[in-house]
Structure 1
Amino acid sequence: MPLHYRTLPVTAFQQNCSLVWCDVTKEAAVIDPGGEVARLVAAADSLGLTLKAIWLTHAHIDHAGGAGQLAREQGLPIIGPHTGDQFWITSLPQQSAMFGFPPAEMFTPTRWLEDGDEVQIGHESLTVRHCPGHTPGHVVFHSASAKRCFVGDVLFAGSIGRTDFPGGDHATLIRSITERLWPMGDDTVFIPGHGPESHFGEERRSNPFVRGRWG
């Protein structure tokens, strides 16, 4: 598989930050650097990777808290999320204070993402799907060739994302899962924002929040 990744849980929230890279070029993106920036850079160095971009699924503090610092220190573009999360980017300093995180640096994404866009790292392209519900601007990154999807806080093994934050909506989240994720295929492995990986098929069969639901 030419697309490789390594998941690194960061911060007290144990958020799954992922290093994703092209095995041919060793160019890498960092998905959702919530914090512990020095550790993420060291991990990339240890793997012989060249960091090229930051990709954000959404702008909650545990996913985006380290993005500004990492972008500044490494000279990286910030790609995503969707413009619907501008509210959460603007509130990052308040989020960091509320949850006891180090002060988050403000940033403006180099590129906002829309449903159907593509992001590329080396020779590998991933499709962007807009999956609101947890936040209005949440996106996921899907590699059809690798049968992997980085879903942030849309879906978890045995659970789904919270919808009680500002801009969250339960019905919208369920539609995102059933209409955007399920068509990617039962055998697609997803990497959630917290906790272990699973398959879409397993969640469709057993997840009590979405079991048996179809788009």
Structure 2
Amino acid sequence: MPIPLEDNYNDVIGKAQRGLNLPDDALAARIGMPESVITKLKEGSMDEIVFDKISRALNLHTGALIAMAKKDWYPDPVRLAGLEQFNTPYEDYTVNAYVVWDPDTKLAAAFDTGASAKPMVDFIASKGLKLEAIYLTHTHPDHVADIATLRTANQPVYSCNKEPWDGTELFDAGHEFNLGGLRIETKQTSGHSRGGITYIIHGLDERVAIVGDALFASSMGGGMVSWADALATNRRYILANPENTVICPGHGPMTTVGQEKAHNPFYPEYKPSAS
């Protein structure tokens, strides 16, 4: 079964409202309409005039937001040699983790753990891979829940020095790692979390960005630390990559830079008919 999108259109609107500090009454005043029209839209009304006014007020792309409301878009499947996604249940939602490996040397790295790392451990064994290291995108509980299972041979676990985790080796954003013939860049995509890291992997058939909760297919993580930083670092360090770059989010399906430029409501400037 395909992994559902992490957010619906109401989630997108809600995140933008919180980021801009515009509760329903303030948003209604900004768009010059009664608060009841916002309530109706959130309950399923498809009034495109209201969608357009709300989108403009929240710096969202109207067409992309309406497509989410109509459930008209889902990212194309991603299949890439040297990359595997793992999706495990955590409380009432699911969380992703990833294994990346150099097909020539069979050296592998894990990125986050998911709620259970057993599927990752089993996969690594079935493919005859050697797990060299574990990298954390950030330290929210759902992403670090099963380090003990994943760390089968005392592999190093790395986390950003702005968001340390007990037992990890710390690094500054900008540091590079090597994995066989692969090169791993680290970029600071803070905003959702204080020390959020995006790992840019070079050397597979396509560039890969493992982004944690910085960005989702057609959405993004909430700006729990800084909404402005979340938007800005996503633009600078994720969406500036080539369009075929595979985006591996902490929740929801994998996507690509090109698809997010075309379909993510939070980045209207990339659309030909930006609102």
**What TM-score, normalized by structure 2, do the two folds share?**
0.64
Q: Deviations over 1:38-77 (max 9, x none)?
A: 3321111011111111011100111111124433x42110
Work out whether residues 148 and 189 of structure 1, in 8 Å CA contact, stay in contact via their aligned partners in 2.
yes
Q: Structure 2: how far apart are the matches of 1:27 and 1:144?
A: 14
Work out whether residues 214 and 221 of structure 2, in 8 Å CA contact, stay in contact via their aligned partners in 1.
yes
Displacement, 1:3? 6.4
- Counterpart of 1:109? 168
- Counterpart of 2:219? 159
Displacement, 1:114? 2.1
Deviant stretches of 4+, over 6 Å: none
**Letter of the aligned partner of 1:5 in structure 2?**
L
1:20 to 89, 100, 109: 100
Work out whether residues 126 and 142 of structure 1, in 8 Å CA contact, stay in contact via their aligned partners in 2.
yes
SS at 1:212's partner residue? Answer: helix
Work out whether residues 25 and 122 of structure 1, in 8 Å CA contact, stay in contact via their aligned partners in 2.
yes
1:6 aligns with 2:65: no
Work out whether residues 182 and 202 of structure 2, in 8 Å CA contact, stay in contact via their aligned partners in 1.
no
Correspondences of 1:74-113 after superposition (within 5 Å): 74-80=153-159, 82-86=160-164, 89=165, 107-110=166-169, 112-113=170-171
Q: Structure 2: how far apart are the matches of 1:68 and 1:163?
A: 29
Q: Structure 2: how far apart are the matches of 1:33 and 1:129?
A: 20
> Against the structure 1 CA distance between its residues 177 and 213, is the aligned structure 2 distance closer, same or farther, given a 3 Å change threshold?
farther
Across the aligned residues of Structure 1 and Structure 2, the Cα RMSD in angstroms comes to 2.0
Greater RCO (CA < 8 Å, at least 6 residues apart)? 2
- Counterpart of 1:46? 126
- Counterpart of 1:203? 260
Q: Structure 2: how far apart are the matches of 1:143 and 1:40?
A: 19
Question: For structure 1, which segment, 193-202 or 52-61, has the greater mean C-alpha deviation from structure 2 after superposition?
Answer: 193-202
- Counterpart of 1:138? 196
Displacement, 1:130? 0.9
- Counterpart of 2:53? none
Q: Structure 1: how far apart are the matches of 2:268 and 2:202?
A: 23
Work out whether residues 205 and 212 of structure 1, in 8 Å CA contact, stay in contact via their aligned partners in 2.
no
- Counterpart of 1:169? 226
Residue identity over aligned pairs, in percent, reads: 27
- Counterpart of 2:26? none
Q: Deviations over 1:65-108 (max 9, x none)?
A: 1124433x42110012x12213xx3xxxxxxxxxxxxxxxxx32
**Letter of the aligned partner of 2:153 in structure 1?**
Q
Work out whether residues 34 and 61 of structure 1, in 8 Å CA contact, stay in contact via their aligned partners in 2.
no
Work out whether residues 203 and 211 of structure 1, in 8 Å CA contact, stay in contact via their aligned partners in 2.
no
**What TM-score, normalized by structure 1, do the two folds share?**
0.80
Work out whether residues 113 and 128 of structure 1, in 8 Å CA contact, stay in contact via their aligned partners in 2.
no
SS at 1:142's partner residue? Answer: strand
SS at 2:178's partner residue? Answer: strand
SS at 2:131's partner residue? Answer: strand
